[in-house]
Every structure is written in structure tokens, then in C-alpha cells.
Amino acid sequence: MAFEDPSLKEWRQQAVKELRGRSLDEITWQTPEGIDIKPVYSADDLAELEHLNTLPGFPPYLRGPRATMYAGRPWTLRQYAGFSTAEESNRFYRDNLKSGQTGLSVAFDLPTHRGYDSDHPRVIGDVGKAGVAIDSVEDVKILFDSIPLDKISVSMTMNGAVLPVLAMFIVAGEEQGVSQEALSGTLQNDILKEFMVRNTYIYPPEPSMRIVADIIQHTSNHMPRFNPISISGYHMQEAGATCVQELAYTIADGIEYVRAALSTGMDVDQFAPRLSFFFCIGMNLFMEIAKLRAARFLWADLMKTHFSPKKPTSLMLRTHCQTSGVSLTSQSPYNNIIRTTIEALAAVLGGTQSLHTNSFDEALALPSEFSAQIARNTQLILREESGLSKVVDPLAGSYYIESLTGSMIREAKNLIDEVEAMGGMTRAVEAGIPKQRIEASAAKRQARFDSGEDVIIGVNQFISDSDDDVELLEVDNQAVRESQISRLTNVRESRNEKACQSALSQLKRCAESGEWGLLQQSILAARARATVGEITDAVRSVFGQHRAVPQTISGVYSNAISSDEDVSAIRQRVERFIESHHRRPRALIAKVGQDGHDRGAKVIATAYADFGFEVDIGALFQTPAEVVRQAVDNDVHLVGISTQAGGHKTLVPQIVDGLKSEGAENVVVICGGVVPPDDVRTLESKGVSAVYGPGTRILDTIPQVLEFIETKMASA
């Protein structure tokens, strides 16, 4: 039976009737990316789009890099994991492989990321807390014990200390009987995003880019099954970037890495087919699907335009995805299972090649075996029970999806053109432009949440009266550190010291010469049992250490939240403090230890400054003693510690004790971030006034903090 198609004019008339006095504008909304979303889409919205007549498996690969996609081969189930010691992580990996996981993705602890050995005095609270501790080849051999490296692909999230870690992986493979040529997997090796958001850098940008290029050259010549770089947008979105910013800056990073690789003398077709990408998948289902489709189109278009490769596969964007960590909440944590499922669905509908699903308890602690099993089974159920893998690009042709894909391409291209006009991403990063844009976006995101514009179930809407009892994983930082130091001692005592120092000297000379071969020299040093810290120091002695200058933005948070009814009362509360004490409340917002995730710290600093606080920001990677010294010298009322990596039980009490020893016990100490409930009680017993977990409204904290300050002042 045929029906007459109504016109859009007729639809509007019908919609206005149904809205009963409201306008269509009230159900039209704008995304954080600035894209206007209409309540209905039609064929008219597809008229100007260039990307529609494409097929999967052919350039520009918008509908997928393979012709049959999951119908021919499902996505790889690759869970990101690593904690405590190499022994514990190895057991976890082997259990996961038995349970259906098809690839490994290694999380390293922060000292390893930053190129420190576990016995370094600056990493006391961080060893084994946010990943597995690796100091030498011996650790890597244990990490992959009984895991055949010629059969299991290994993804390694490593950027700063990429030379020693990849070198040790290669040597561990050799000593397992697996040659470089047979190793398969992916190295993140994406240093530009570290300078923008994640901050686990070591060397300045220019020499860091030389290391990236060196690794691409080595792997292209010697490791044909290994992807030398995973160009990562994940941490950008986690730091507050919009989907458009994540997409644009990730693609711009990729273009910069291609240029760096070409500087070694390679042909683009020699390495481009093995470049890979890594995107975050958040809660805007359709936006995330469109983002992955747009990414493939943009990459193919820009590669063809800039580099004219001869192989079609050089135009192909292949990506790993991970569900969002920022979307996880510490309140009503079982809701996170649903959030992760929605995000995993978006990644699959968008055409990812591999996927990690976060565990529901990661806003509270490292994932437990119970929560990790649920996360893994989420993927297995989507793959085996939902029918998602039966059809290639099932949303292709959707009026909304295709229109949104076109909008993403257009908006991202504008940002990429801006970066190119600055001379490329290295220059843009040095100027700090992407970092500033992302931090502004993060402040706006927080303001939307605090004002209730963005709803989070169980946090700012439909809040449960009961607390969920969740069994959490606890890592004994002191025991892990002692174990690592013991093994380090054995390695240093048993190695040929002369051969080790000779290899380190050769590595240093290579760095000084400007020649390629940094990874090859690192492999020689790893064979001689040089440690992560020693290899890093040899290179650092030539390249130097990068030190970021703390900066904040102003006005973004308060402008975005100016309509909130609480704002006026909070401003008045701050003014009363100023009138009573003849000065503004002053806060030091600090990171301590090797945790470089500074989104929360920057957002808090911005918001507090907007409401009248004087705010100092500590440098990244401070020790407790350095935080105390800055607090005392600046005569602050408040020290706020942002923690994401689990070092709080060791490090924060040292700050409280240090303030007391300096006669500054009236300084209020608060903590914010990922802190398990039992640890909250421990910190409060040590003198911390409050602990604010993920999902806390900043507006709720300011009056509380002022009460803490005035109570301390009154008792002084």
C-alpha cells in the first residue's frame, strides 16, 4: 500500500499542535561541539553531503576499513589492564585470555611512564598503583610468562618512557624465543597528546618527536606485524575536549607524525598502513558513531591531499576505542554498567577495530576481578547475542547519522586548518592553543553539570538514598615497591656492569649525534640489563627535561553557570569572608606524585578563581614537601589535592604532617578525585577536612570549604 509523503511544512504544523504552546526551538538543542540538532531529519538534509556514495573496504573508508567488517571478523576484545607487580598482572592476563579476551593491553604505573625506577625518591606513593611496575627486562619476562608473544598481540600504552619499554618488550620476546619480526601489537607512542592533556612526558616536544620517528623507522624495517603508533584522542575527551576537538586534534597529530616519519627518509607507503588510532567513546551515542565515521573520511582525505600515497591502505584509519572513564560516577556505581554498555554499542556501530570496556568501579578504585568480568562480558554479549556483527555499518543512510557525520567532518576540518596555519601540531602544542581550548571546554562541561543542564542519573538527578556496597581492589603500594626494589637490586648486582655502562654511553652518543638508531641502542642497553630509569637518564642528559608552566583560564566556568540560582548566594558568601578577614580566601590547588591527569585540578582552580578566591596552581609532579613549601610561602588558607592514580594514602598524609611541622596546621587540606570509601575515612582520620569524589558539584564545595577555613582560623 502506498502512502502520500507529507511535506516538512506539514510536519512542522503537526509538531506545533502537539507541543501545545511551546515552540520548535524548545526541542532543538545545541551540542557542546556547537552543532545544532533538529528534532527531525529528512532526505533534504543529505542533499549537500559528499560522503554518501561510499562502500566499506574502499577509500575513503567512511563505512569501515574492511569490506565485510564484523561479518567477516569481529572486533578484537582488548581489555586495558595492569596493576601491582608483574606477577599479579600476568595472572590477571592469563585468566582473561582463558575467559574470551583476544588481545592484551598493558597499563604501566606512573613511575614507569615517567622514566623512573621504583626506588627513586620521587615515586614513593605511585609504584604499582595505576598500572604494573616495570624496571627491567626481568619484569617484562615475568609479565608475559606463559603468554606466547608470537600468537597474542600486545598493546602498550606508553609514551614518555617509550624507548626503554619497547626495547625491553623486544628483548623479553627474544629470550622467549620470539624474534622482532614475529611480535605483533601496538605501541601508543603518541607524545603530542601528552603535552596537551595527559602530561606523562619526559623530554621537550622537538626531541620527543625525534623518538617517535625513530621508532616508526625501526618497526617499519624490523617489525612488520607491529603498529608503531596509536594516535590517541582518548585522553583529550577525558580531559574535557568536545568530540569535534578530540577528532580534529587527533587527526592533526597523525598528520604531524607522518611528517616526522618522512623526515627519516622513508616512503609514506612504507609505514602509513600500520598507523593506528585510539578514540574515547562517551555518552552521546549518535555523536560518537558519527565521530568514528568522520575520522575515517578525514584521514583518507588529508593523507591523499598532503602525501599522495600509492597504496590505498595508506589512506585507511584503523582504531581502538575505550569507553569513557569520566562518565563513570562514584555515586550509584552500578549505573556505570549501563553507561559502559551504551558507549560500547556506539563504538561498535561506529566501526571500531578493537574495544576496551571500563569496569563499573573505576570511579572508586582499580577494577576488581568481579567488575572486570562484567566489563569483558559486556563486549561478549554485544558480539555474540545482539546481532550487531551481522551487518556492515548498519546505520548508514540514516538521515540523522549521515547529517551528523557531515557536520563532524566540517567542524573538525576547520580546527585542523587552524592547526596547519600555525605550522602543524608541534607548533600548536608549543603555543599551548589546543590545551587552552580543551581546558575551556572542560570548565564548560563542569558548569553544565553543576547547573543541572547536563543530567547524570544518581548524581544530580534521581539520587538514591542508599549507598551501593562495592568490594574494591586494594593495592599495597609499600609491598609492591619493596618487591620491585629487591628485584632491581638483584638485576644490578648480577649484570655485567661494564657492558651495561658501555651500552648506555653508546645510547647517549646516539642522542648527541642526531642520527637515527635510538631504539636500536636502547635494545642493546636493555639486553645488558640497564633499567628504565638508566636508559631514560642517558637520553635525558642530552635532550633535557620538559617542565610545563602552570596556567589557568578565567571566566569560562562562571559565564557558563551564571543562570544558576546558587551562584548569587555563593558570591555573597565569599564577599562576607573578604569583609570579615580583609583578604580573599587563598587556595593552592596541587597535584602530588607522578599523576599528570590535571583536568580536575584545572577545573577546580578556574571555578574557585571565578568566585573570588586567590588561586595558586602547583607544578605537576610535586613531592609532598614541595607542596607544603609552596603553601607556606604563599600563605594559603586551603590546599586542595587532586588525585586520580591511587597514591593519596601515602602522599596526602605527608602534606598534612608537613604543614603541622611548619606551624601551618590551620591550613585546610581537602582532597578530590578517585578515592575509595575506606580511604576517605583513613584520610579524614589523618586530618583531611573533606574528600570530594567524581560527580561532586563545585558549587556545593565552596561554602563548605569556607566553613572549614573559618573554623580553623577561629581555633588558631
Q: Which residues are part of the catalytic machinery?
A: 80, 234-235, 591, 595, 597
**8 A C-beta contact, residue 416 and residue 245:** no
Cα-to-chain-centroid distance, residue 629: 30
The C-alpha atoms of residue 37 and residue 42 are separated, in whole angstroms, by 13
The continuous run of DSSP H or E covering 205 comes out as: helix 205-222
What's the DSSP call for residue 466?
S
Amino acid at 62: L
Q: Which of 330, 339, 268, 338 is nearest to 304 (CA)?
A: 268
Query: Which residues pair with residue 546 across a beta bridge?
Result: none
DSSP-assigned letters across all residues of 478-501: HHHHHHHHHHHHHHHHHS-HHHHH
Largest separation between any pair of C-alpha atoms in the chain: 87
Question: Do 190 and 113 form a contact (C-beta atoms < 8 A)?
Answer: no
Closest Cα to residue 223, out of 306, 285, 167, 165? 167
Q: Are 696 and 463 in contact (CB under 8 A)?
A: no
Please name which of 715, 702, 714, 630 lies closest in space to residue 672, comparing C-alpha atoms: 702
Name 136's Cβ contacts closer than 8 Å, sequence gap at least 6.
Answer: 168, 487, 488, 491, 526, 529, 530, 531, 532
Among 352, 320, 351, 356, residue whose Cα is nearest residue 340: 356
Which of 281, 297, 428 shows the shortest CA–CA distance to 345?
281
Q: Indicate the pairing of strand 36-37 with strand 29-30.
A: antiparallel
State the alpha helices, DSSP H only, in 562-647.
566-581, 599-610, 624-633
How far is residue 709 CA from its own chain's centroid? 34
Query: CB 436: neighbour CB atoms within 10 A?
Result: 14
121 burial (CB, 10 Å; 0-12 / 13-18 / 19+) is exposed
Q: Provide the total of helices (H) and of strands (E) in the chain, helices listed first.
A: 28, 16
* Residue closest to 368 by CA, chosen among 333, 342, 416: 333
- Per-position DSSP letters for 216-249, written without gaps between them: HHHHHHH-TTEE-EEEE-HHHHHTT--HHHHHHH
Q: Tell me, what DSSP letter sits at residue 109? A: P
Contacts 24+ apart (CB under 8 A), 483-489: 483/85, 484/85, 484/118, 484/119, 484/127, 484/128, 484/133, 484/135, 484/139, 485/118, 485/119, 487/135, 487/136, 487/138, 487/139, 488/117, 488/118, 488/119, 488/135, 488/136, 488/531
Contacts of 43 (CB under 8 A, 6+ apart): 399
Nearest Cα to Cα of residue 186 among 224, 220, 228? 228
Of 115, 84, 137, the C-alpha closest to 478 is 84
Total residues belonging to the chain: 716
